[in-house]
Amino acid sequence: MNVADAVRNRISTRAYLDTPVGEADLRAILEVARWSPSGGNCQPWHVYGLSGASMARFRAELAAAMAANPMGEEPEFHIYPPAIKEPYRTRRFRCGEALYAAIGIPREDKAGRLMQLAKNYDFFGAPAAFFFAIDRQMGPGQWAHLGMLMQTIALVAEEKGLATCMQEAWARQHGFVRRFFAVPDELQIYCGLAVGHADPAAPINRWRTERAGVDEIASFFG
């Protein structure tokens, strides 16, 4: 698989097989992805890998925490701007509507949509995951560099036949994640990333988001 194929084939996979993915698999991915670029080579990230017995314990403890507090915690950052403007608002709306349409959940089925959203907190059934943290003193540049690492991880996983899903939903469980991994106070939890083998029979995995054309997102001066 070449890079172009990996970029085009990668999707946010939201249904996984129970085929095991272990620490050795996560280490192999990160061994390559750690060569991702960062300004000044600061490498402003810390990564937590989760699989096996620790994943089982994570799920059990999270279930108890969410039973006590179903709404989760107040995020430490806005996942989207509070008053997101066009064209970003419409793009986000279309993405959500198309996702629910792909799995037959109509707009009026609020409970069904919430149940689908809640699958984030089971990693959509994935057997392994990464979590990403960044030092609180870092600014927009370093956050962008963390994104480069995450994209590289997703592409390396794709090459290895593994599917992924980047999950900012964990912003509502940042305290639980922090306690589970004993994350130092100076680090901020940003995102989770589910890792596993995609379920080819799941309708949601056959859905693809659209992309704006090159002339919509770029200007060229020759």
Ordered domains of the chain (ranges, CATH)? 3-79+123-208 (3.40.109.10)
Q: What is d(CA 7, CA 154) in angstroms, rounded to the nearest whole number? A: 9
Structure tokens at 52: 């096996």
Average pLDDT over residues 23-35: 98
pLDDT value at residue 26: 98
Half-sphere exposure of 177 (CA within 13 A, CB side): 29
What pTM, to 2 d.p., does this model score? 0.95
110-119 average pLDDT score: 93
User: Over the chain, what is the mean pLDDT?
Assistant: 96
pLDDT of residue 71: 87
Q: Is residue 70's pLDDT more than 90?
A: no
Q: How far apart are CA 87 and CA 108, in angstroms?
A: 25
Distance CA 194, CA 130 (A): 7
pLDDT value for 1: 87
Whether residue 13 is predicted with pLDDT greater than 90 in this model: the reply is yes
Q: What is the DSSP letter of 32?
A: H
In the DSSP assignment, the letter for residue 125 is G
Q: What is the pLDDT of residue 23?
A: 98
Q: Does the pLDDT value for residue 198 go beyond 90?
A: yes
CA-CA distances (angstroms) from residue 7 to 18, 37, 158, 161, 219? Answer: 25, 17, 9, 13, 22
Q: What is the rounded CA–CA span in Å between residue 204 and residue 135?
A: 35
pLDDT confidence band for 109 (50 / 70 / 90): very high
Residue 219 CA to residue 222 CA, distance in Å, equals 10
Q: pLDDT tens across 159-195, in order?
A: 999 999 999 999 999 999 999 999 999 999 999 999 9
Beta strands per DSSP E along the chain: 46-50, 128-135, 163-167, 187-196
Reported confidence tier of residue 90, pLDDT bands at 50, 70, 90: very high
Contacts 24+ apart (CB under 8 A), 88-97: 91/212, 94/210, 95/209
Kind plus residue range of the DSSP H or E element containing 50: strand 46-50
Where does the pLDDT of residue 8 fall: very low under 50, low under 70, confident under 90, or very high at 90 and above? very high
Q: Is the pLDDT of residue 62 over 90?
A: yes
Q: How confident is the model at residue 128 (pLDDT cuts 50, 70, 90)?
A: very high
On the question of a cis peptide bond just before residue 87, with omega within 30 degrees of 0, the verdict is yes
Length of the chain: 222
